[in-house]
A and B are shown apart, each in its own frame.
Chain A
């Protein structure tokens, strides 16, 4: 316990440096902005800004990127409440009750509880991340390569199971992603695989190019294809505070939401969206105001908003302690760390204490900044919404192009981005989820390394995955998850949750 306090103190020392504070603020601002703006989300933004983080230190880079992620959870609720327009997927449930509250003249209360609940949840989640680090890393150090392989496989399976739409297609996308990760030079033998003699491919496909093409550019094209009408804000915001009765109803929801979000965020494939849906379902069943759902129940805002913020922070836990990304955003963080020369994994907590504890401290500071940014400055963000999309998308396009080019100073990467934009467009038309592909792409090479090592140690015996208890347990959970999705009841449940 004293160790944790000492470490946290060290972390605050790192996080409170002027440089890191500035970047945390920048991340929070950008995150809120993209959360408010529909049509661009944290995945596209982080992949856009990834190349620009090369020039800064790894700790600073991750602080900013993390700020963008949890900042976007704060921003998404603003438009959900005021305009019935969710800026983020995780804000979809907030539109259900939040917009109704705004129509009833309680917009201020909704906004206030969204921000305050998120702050509380964020603080709790930060403590969880801090506590989990040393705990999980000591567990992970007893992992052998077979266990790692099974853990990564579990992560991939769960992210496919919890993805929208068909599970089988999502697993297929994972496999496709792993396959794409194979392009390049085989680390162990030095042989070029699937490079077709193209020298630029000898290091593999550019991760940022794939991410930007599939998430950024494809998104732009899809948004252009279906123009959304945006209602000009007519609802008055009113006072940014709650009545006593609203407080007493909201507080249990915040607590429940924090718990739900913290747990679901850790789960691979979980993340903010799933947590907000899960919390919404829970509040509909359990809360005191459940009969008011549909007419503007404050629990429907308090719970999900706390949940999504808690999840956005606890989803860092598998990344920081085990090196496993639990969702697409975390996959991008892995990419960012690898590019900076840091190997994510259990050794990272000891090897990079500045990064780990600094990031944790900065998360809490970021939450505090966001509280200020979101409550008093809300008028500014609403103005931002009035920028027509036709001015935004050329800007996003340019940033994509320049960003991708600047990674390797090579236009080849721009062409790869174009190729993956076409592919991403095709995938969305065929309802194939892109996020599992990205996670597979990131984890594939690591899995291959562990598989090889495991096979070498076991002298070619594949039963080693079932003989080692940890590995067997993990594979068992993966099998259960896959089979469970085959049960129609659970599948319907997931579909209702995801359909909002």
Chain B
């Protein structure tokens, strides 16, 4: 038996999604929330196609797991202790921050700002482990963008995003002048393309609208 751990994990993921989908949708032997009516084959209700698709997905997931017993060996990348720790901590802290975010100000009750703050803190916690730093800083940078854009304007959002994303690259950390350079360049480029040429509807500065 040559187990391919990657295949088995992939198949397991597909099965889980299928189960979740069937649970919500219905068509799973009556178990679940059954939110969408199935209808019949002739007059399909909204739940019919999802049922077909998720059953197919479950079948495929099972096949992937089955073939995973012989298509290896392909082990999963090992996570170091600190990587596991920061992964769990990131999820816990992120959810906690989301939950308590209204306490930081009414700003975080609006739209998805609470989610954004939780995500931002979560990704930054993830960066405690060196292995997670690449994805952590890049996605934290995107969270900053989402948080700053509407109230802070495009320019500050770009500054925040670029600065945080550059931390992910060790070359940048060694030469901070490059960071300033690329930030200024992007500010100019984005202004020219998005504001002047394409005229997209976004606040440029916090006082714009």
Q: With A388-B171, A421-B139 known to touch, is A462 a contact of B41 (CB < 8 Å)?
A: yes
Say if the beta carbon of B40 comes within 8 Å of chain A: yes
Q: Which of B17, B54, B138 contacts A217 (CB 8 A)?
A: B138
Q: A175-B60, A432-B10 are in contact. Are A168 and B161 (CB under 8 A)?
A: no
B82 contacts partner chain A, Cβ-Cβ < 8 Å: no
Beta-carbon nearest neighbor of B71 in chain A: A166
Q: Check A191 against B36 for contact (C-beta < 8 Å).
A: yes
Q: Is the CB of A456 within 8 A of B142?
A: no
Minimum Cβ distance to chain B for residue A14 (Å): 23
A290-303 interface bits toward B, Cβ cutoff 8 Å, 1 = contact, 0 = none: 00000000000000
- B119 near A455 with CB under 8 A, answer no
In the bound complex, do residue A411 and residue B7 qualify as a contact, i.e. CB atoms below 8 Å apart? no
Q: A182-B50, A430-B10 are in contact. Are A391 and B182 (CB under 8 A)?
A: yes
- Taking a contact as CB atoms under 8 Å apart, the answer to whether A397 and B138 are in contact is yes
CB-CB under 8 A from A400, the residues of chain B are 142
Q: Mark A417-448, 1 if CB is under 8 A from B, else 0.
A: 11001100110011110000000000010001
Knowing A221-B134, A397-B142, A411-B112 touch, does A176 contact B171 (C-beta < 8 A)? no
Q: What residues of chain B lie closer than 8 Å to A401, measured between beta carbons?
A: 142, 145-146, 149, 157, 161
Against B, the Cβ 8 Å flags (1 = close, 0 = not) of A152-175 are 000000000000001011011001
Q: B174-202 CB contact bits vs A (8 Å, 1 = yes)?
A: 00001001110110011000100011111
A411 touches B158 (CB 8 A): no
Stretch at the interface among A120-128, A402-410, A467-475: A402-410
User: A398's contact among B36, B61, B168, B186, by CB below 8 Å, is which?
Assistant: B186
A179 touching B10, Cβ below 8 Å: no
Given contacts A52-B198, A166-B71, A168-B60, contact A414 B119 (CB under 8 A): no
Quote the shortest CB–CB distance from A494 to chain B (angstroms): 15
Nearest Cβ distance between residue A450 and chain B, in whole angstroms?
A: 11
B196 to chain A, nearest CB (A): 13
Residue of A179, A422, A455 near B50 (CB, 8 A) is A179
- In the complex, besides A172-B10, A402-B202, A409-B201, 19 extra interface pairs with C-beta distance below 8 angstroms are A166-B64, A168-B67, A172-B61, A175-B60, A193-B47, A194-B24, A389-B169, A390-B166, A390-B171, A395-B185, A398-B190, A406-B194, A411-B146, A414-B142, A415-B146, A417-B142, A418-B119, A421-B139, A451-B44
Selected from A390, A411, A431, the residue in CB contact (under 8 A) with B178 is A390
CA of A244 to CA of B162, assembled, Å: 52
Chain A neighbourhood of B9, CB < 8 A: 430
Given A221-B138, A225-B134: A405 and B198 within 8 A (CB)?
Answer: no
Q: How far is the CA of A223 from the CA of B150 in the complex (A)?
A: 30
A379 within 8 A of B: no
15 contacts between A and B (CB under 8 A): A55-B198, A168-B60, A169-B64, A171-B60, A172-B61, A176-B14, A182-B49, A193-B25, A193-B36, A390-B169, A395-B185, A395-B186, A402-B190, A414-B146, A421-B139
Counting contact residues on chain A (CB < 8 A from B), the size range is 35 or more
Which 6 residue pairs of A and B lie closest in terms of their CB atoms, listed nearest first? A460-B42, A172-B60, A186-B46, A460-B41, A224-B134, A414-B146
Of residues 134 to 178 in B, which have CB atoms within 8 Å of A's CB atoms?
134-135, 138-139, 141-143, 145-147, 149-150, 154, 157-158, 161-162, 165-166, 168-169, 171-172, 178
CB nearest to B157 among chain A residues: A401
Bound-state Cα–Cα, A401 to B145, Å: 7
Q: Does A231 contact B (CB under 8 A)?
A: no
Residue A459 at the chain B interface, CB threshold 8 Å: yes
Residues of B close to A220: CB separation below 8 A:
138
Q: Is the CB of B162 within 8 A of A398?
A: yes
Q: List the B side residues contacting A169 at CB < 8 Å.
A: 7, 10-11, 64
* A14, B178: Cα distance in complex, Å: 44
- Closest Cβ of chain A to B113, distance in Å, is 8
| A221: chain B residues within 8 A (beta carbon) | 134-135, 138
| Contact present for A430 and B158 (CB under 8 Å) | no
- Let me know if A179 and B17 touch, CB within 8 A: yes
CA distance A391 to B53 in the complex (A): 43
Give the contacting residue for A397; candidates B57, B63, B161; CB below 8 A.
Answer: B161
Chain A residues within 8 Å of B10, by CB: 169, 172, 430-432
Which chain A residues border B6 with CB–CB below 8 Å?
A: 429-431
Question: Per a CB cutoff under 8 Å, which of B63, B162, B168, B202 touches A168?
Answer: B63
> Is A178 located at the chain interface by the 8 A CB criterion?
yes
Is residue A476 contacting chain B, with contact meaning CB distance below 8 A? no
- Of chain B, the residue at the smallest CB distance from A448 is B49
Q: Are A459 and B42 in contact (CB under 8 A)?
A: yes
Question: Smallest CB–CB gap between A210 and chain B, Å?
Answer: 15
Question: How many angstroms between the C-alpha atoms of A449 and B105 in the bound complex?
Answer: 46
Q: Does A143 contact B (CB under 8 A)?
A: no
B38 CB to closest chain A CB (Å) equals 12
- A171-214 contacts to B, CB under 8 A, are 171-172, 175-176, 178-179, 182, 186, 188-189, 191, 193-194
Distance in Å: Cβ of A37 to nearest Cβ of chain B: 16
Which residues of B are found within 8 Å of A452, using beta-carbon distances?
A: 44, 49
Pairwise interchain contact B154-A411, C-beta atoms closer than 8 A = no
